[in-house]
């Protein structure tokens, strides 16, 4: 080790030189650690406190495993009857063919047939369940009819299909 100067001014200059050198060395160390993936950000400590201890964690964490294969829930194109249609419409006979009495949904009736029509109104698939209601009046069983299929002229709003049971 070289001899230190004796006068205060020379010592002050030496200290300033050492401080400057120290600063440059710290900067250099920080730069090198950055290349190694080690930095003070891992420890919430200033760079000078990091030391030379190697962290056990990899710089780049291993990616989380993703399941292979097709998406869950992917099904074919066959439209099956759904258990929870968006709408249920009951089609009753208008009136008694014998006495002319008008029927409404308030009249006691039984569902004898049904089918489901699948429409795409907006982006959502909407299902209307059509039920044919039967009313017995004057000893005659009378039932409604399925409505005529609406075929929209707008290409983006078309009837996809309908199923009969």
Contacting positions for Zn ion (CB under 5 A): 96, 98-99, 101, 137-138
Give the helix, strand, coil percentages of the chain, each rounded to 5.
20, 25, 55
**Which CB, 99 or 151, lies closer to Zn ion?**
99
Question: Do 163 and 116 touch, CB atoms closer than 8 A?
Answer: yes
Closest separation in Å from C-beta 101 to Zn ion = 5
What is 16-60 written as a DSSP string?
HHHHHHHHHHHHHHHHHHHHHT--GGGTTS-GGG--SPPPSS-SS
Chain position whose Cβ is nearest to Zn ion = 96
**Which CB, 76 or 100, lies closer to Zn ion?**
100
**Which CB, 86 or 94, lies closer to Zn ion?**
94
**Which CB, 4 or 99, lies closer to Zn ion?**
99
Residue among 135, 153, 156 nearest 93 (CA): 135
Closest separation in Å from C-beta 105 to Zn ion = 17
- Give residue 31's region: left, alpha or beta (phi > 0; psi -120 to 50): alpha
Closest separation in Å from C-beta 147 to Zn ion = 23
Closest separation in Å from C-beta 108 to Zn ion = 14
């Amino acid at each position: 080790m070289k001899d230190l100067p004796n006068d205060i001014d020379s010592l002050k200059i030496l200290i300033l030189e050492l401080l400057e050198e120290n600063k440059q060395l710290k900067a250099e160390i920080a730069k090198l650690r950055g290349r190694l993936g080690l930095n003070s950000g891992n420890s919430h400590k200033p760079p000078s406190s990091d030391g030379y201890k190697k962290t056990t964690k990899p710089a780049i964490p291993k990616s989380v495993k993703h399941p292979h294969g097709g998406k869950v829930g992917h099904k074919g194109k066959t439209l099956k009857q759904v258990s929870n249609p968006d709408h249920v419409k009951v089609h009753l006979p208008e009136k008694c063919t014998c006495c002319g009495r008008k029927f409404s949904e308030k009249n006691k009736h039984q569902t004898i047939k049904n089918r489901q029509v699948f429409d795409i109104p907006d982006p959502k698939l909407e299902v209307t369940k059509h039920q044919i209601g039967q009313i017995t009046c004057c000893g005659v069983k009378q039932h409604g009819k399925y409505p005529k299929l609406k075929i929209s002229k707008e290409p983006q709003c078309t009837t996809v299909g309908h199923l009969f049971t």
